[in-house]
A and B are shown apart, each in its own frame.
Chain A
Amino acid sequence: MNWLTNFVRPKILALVRKDSAPDNLWDKCPACERMIFHRDLEANLRVCPHCDHHLQLGAKARLALLFDGGIYERQDVRGVPVDPLRFRDRKRYGDRLREAQAATGERDAMIVAAGAMGGRTAVVAAFDFAFIGGSMGTAVGDALLEGADQAVARGAPFVVVTASGGARMQEGALSLMQMARTTIAVDKVKEAGLPYIVVMTNPTTGGVTASFAMLGDIAIAEPGAIIGFAGARVIEETIRQTLPPGFQRAEYLLDHGMLDMVVHRRELKERLVRLIGLVMPATSSTALVPVATAG
């Protein structure tokens, strides 16, 4: 064993392997554990063709799915001070941020976009779970505030797609404050008489659920998504009981009255377009006017 065999050889092998052994062309469904060819998975919107399990969808793919022709305009979110606490656990938060930025190509965990959805302008804010578990820090709060302002300025509905482990603890109490800031954001949309629709995807937990995610005029979830306040492990450790089957799944929340509907990813856009059309008639002239009664 020497430097050549330990370091150089694996690197060369890795380079060669990329072409000859395409083991990354197959994904394993985390639910049914069957193998899925990656193109089939993408073509099926990252829903398992065998068991219908909804795998996580990145923010950009989500936006492409929701906007007409996959075309949308990204909205700038104001810059925020990085790492206000100079937080450090086993790793510096500043390094974690830079790594996440390098890996995802995004500045933070939420993307805001505007575009046509079913022929009408809509603003969508989507979480990228790949960015530090979709955790909510100041930048996510600012993204929500920006999205809300854009929706109000355009008189457009505001759709938020969640995928988040909750507050970003590396920002300490500042991340907690985002629960208030994001609530302010969605209230602005509601006060402007515009619809605020939430689509909860796997997972949506903690401070994200306990703020803007649960405040939707209409609450939608993807099948099987874990949605809750406390993590399952924390609950088990606290009460020392086994959790009921399906606990904190979208269907469980629907049963307990916490959601309006559970919608398959394939039907999501059409359902959003229909709902928005129902709560926001296209122009006032086409709205139904009460017929004057004779007399």
Chain B
Amino acid sequence: MRTYLDFEKPIAELEGKIEELRHVSDASGINIVEEVSRLRSKTERQLRQTYAKLTPWQKTLVARHPDRPHFSHVVAALIGDFTPLAGDRRFADDPALLGGLGRFRGRPVMVIGHEKGADTEGRVRHNFGMARPEGYRKAQRLMRLADRFGLPVLTLVDTPGAYPGIDAEERGQAEAIARSIETCLALRVPIITAIIGEGGSGGAIALAVADRVLMFEHAIYSVISPEGCASILWRSADQAAEAAEALKLTAQDLERLRLIDGVVAEPLGGAHRDPEVAIATLGDAIERAFTEVAGTVGEPLREARRERFIAMGRTPIA
């Protein structure tokens, strides 16, 4: 069963009809094939129209779509010999933030990212992708390990935000995020970030201070959730759609603001409609990004990363 978003209602209806026809096809026979193909092209047209002009709030819903490919899907498709590494060596292993060694198109890499989970049980186990301090401390450990062995780092960002809980605060959530940012900036190996779904605030940037930052076409990246922003500035979470608009959180907006380096096209109707194609396109973009930064290594690479962030917001936007 496909999950449809509210604004996809016309598409859901069309696809429902197609499904119905396929079931009656044996009984009545004639003209069914023709009708199905007519409905199919109508669906495609509808999808094309809808997805060509998604509002920032609709993109937020697509970015959070339960069927959207997550960390584990991307890793399964793009990383060979993936070998997960666990634990922060201080307190625990955090299932909300995963990482490990593997091969990206033949080359050994360190992969780190948030995992939201695919079904109810998985979502609970991975805490909906909301990492605790031990998650960010594991990320730091893995980044340092990569640095020591000269392995490039790939981070996949997909989180509503760092977990807001008593235990997380007690164990220094803020410090863990700050050190994670500091560790990204200390790397003498390339680091590439792909924001594949939700890039929620501090919990996202903790892994995203990179040499190149890519975003899926319908991913979002924001300082605060549209609901959170609306409840503070509009005093009502109902204004989330307006807040989403004002926050400029889409990949297209962020590319215009020069805060990210590339937008990765998603298949028609979003990555969840064809995860395989989406991930393959992402793979190509990641490879190009690694190639782009391959010329610089060590201290100059680190210096270039710093300069990129220092320059943000200083160059006038056309």
Interface residues of A (CB under 8 A from B): 80-81, 84-85, 87-90, 138, 141, 145, 167, 169-177, 179-181, 183-184, 187, 206-207, 209-215, 227-231, 234-235, 238-239, 241, 243-244, 247-248, 256-258
Q: What string of 1s and 0s marks CB contacts (under 8 Å) between B212-232 and chain A?
A: 000000000111100011001
Chain A residues with Cβ below 8 Å from B165 are 230, 235, 238-239
Given contacts A183-B181, A187-B182, A235-B165, contact A174 B312 (CB under 8 A): yes
Which of A81, A85, A173, A239 is within 8 Å of B221, CB to CB? Answer: A173
Give the chain B neighbours of A187 by CB distance below 8 A.
182, 185-186
Q: Report B214-257 residues with CB < 8 Å from chain A CB.
A: 221-224, 228-229, 232-234, 242-243, 246-249, 254, 257
Contact (A177, B174) CB under 8 Å given A183-B185, A234-B164 = no
Min CB distance, A219 to chain B, in Å? 9
5 residue pairs of the A-B complex, CB under 8 angstroms, read A172-B257, A176-B205, A209-B174, A215-B178, A238-B164
- B247 contact set on A, CB distance < 8 A: 85, 87, 169, 172-173
Q: A173-B223, A211-B178, A241-B166 are in contact. Are A87 and B259 (CB under 8 A)?
A: no
Contact A169 B310 (CB under 8 A): no
CA distance A85 to B223 in the complex (A): 13
Interface residue from B169, B222, B242, B309 paired with A228 (Cβ < 8 Å): B169
Task: With a 10 A CB-CB cut-off, give which of B169, B171, B259 has the most chain A CB atoms.
Answer: B169
Within 8 A of A (CB), among B179-207: 179, 181-182, 184-186, 201-202, 204-206
**Which 6 pairs from chain A and chain B are nearest by CB?**
A230-B164, A89-B233, A209-B174, A229-B174, A210-B177, A214-B175
B166 & A175 in contact (Cβ 8 Å cutoff): no
| Alpha-carbon distance between A177 and B175 when the two chains are bound, in angstroms | 17
The answer to whether B313 and A81 touch across the interface, beta carbons within 8 angstroms, is: yes
Quick check: B224 and A167 within 8 Å, CB to CB?
yes
B29 proximal to A (CB < 8 A) = no
Say yes or no: A181 contacts B312, CB within 8 Å.
Answer: yes
A215 near B182: Cβ-Cβ < 8 Å: yes
Whether B209 sits at the interface, judged by CB under 8 Å, is yes
Residue of B nearest to A165 (CB): B232
Partner of B223, one of A90, A167, A239: A167
Most buried by A among B177, B205, B222, B259: B205
Q: Please, how many angstroms separate the alpha-carbon atoms of A231 and B263 in the complex?
A: 33
Cα distance A212–B175 in the bound complex, in angstroms: 9
B74 CB contacts on chain A under 8 angstroms: none
With A214-B172, A215-B178 already in contact, 13 other A-B pairs whose C-beta atoms are closer than 8 Å:
A81-B317, A167-B224, A169-B233, A172-B248, A172-B249, A176-B202, A176-B204, A177-B205, A179-B177, A179-B178, A184-B185, A209-B174, A256-B170
Question: Is B310 a contact partner of A184 (Cβ separation < 8 A)?
Answer: yes
Which B residues from 247 to 274 make CB contacts under 8 A with A?
247-249, 254, 257, 259
Chain B interface, number of residues (Cβ within 8 angstroms)? 52
Distance from A226 Cβ to chain B, minimum over Cβ atoms (Å): 11
Contact: A230 with B173, CB < 8 Å? yes
- Contact status B168-A229, CB under 8 Å: yes
> What string of 1s and 0s marks CB contacts (under 8 Å) between B305-318 and chain A?
01001101110110
Check if B279 is an interface residue, CB within 8 A of chain A. Answer: no
Contact (Cβ within 8 A) B181 A180? yes
B168, B170, B178, B313: the one within 8 Å of A138 (CB): B313
Q: Which residue of B lies closest to A243 (CB)?
A: B166
Please tell me which one of the listed residues B166, B181, B224 contacts residue A244 in the complex, with CB atoms under 8 A apart. Answer: B166
CB of A173 within 8 A of CB of B169, answer no
> A173 — which chain B residues lie within 8 A by C-beta?
221-223, 247-249, 254, 257, 259
Check if B109 is an interface residue, CB within 8 A of chain A: no
Least Cβ distance of B153 to chain A in Å?
Answer: 15
Residues of chain A within 8 A (CB-CB) of B309 are 177, 180-181, 184
**Interchain CB contact under 8 A, A207 and B202:** yes
Contact of B162 with A by CB under 8 A:
yes
Q: Which B residues are in CB contact (< 8 Å) with A211?
A: 177-178, 181, 202
The chain B residue with its CB closest to the CB of A215 is B178
Q: Output the least CB separation between A149 and chain B (Å).
A: 11
Beta-carbon contact of A207 and B223 below 8 Å: yes
Q: Roughly how many angstroms separate A193 CA and B312 CA in the complex, as a whole number?
A: 27
A202 to chain B, nearest CB (A): 15
Query: How far, in whole Å, are A211 and B202 apart by their CA atoms in the complex?
Result: 9
Distance of B316 from chain A, by nearest CB (Å):
7
Closest chain A residue to B180 by CB distance?
A210
Closest-CB distance, A103 to chain B (whole angstroms): 19
- List chain B residues, Cβ under 8 A from A89: 233-234, 242-243, 246
Provide the residues of chain A in CB contact with B164, threshold 8 Å: 229-231, 234-235, 238-239
Contact (Cβ within 8 A) B205 A169: no
**Nearest CB in chain B to that of A176: its residue:** B223
Q: Which of B166, B173, B312 contacts A239 (CB 8 A)?
A: B166
Contact between A183 and B182 (Cβ–Cβ < 8 Å)?
yes
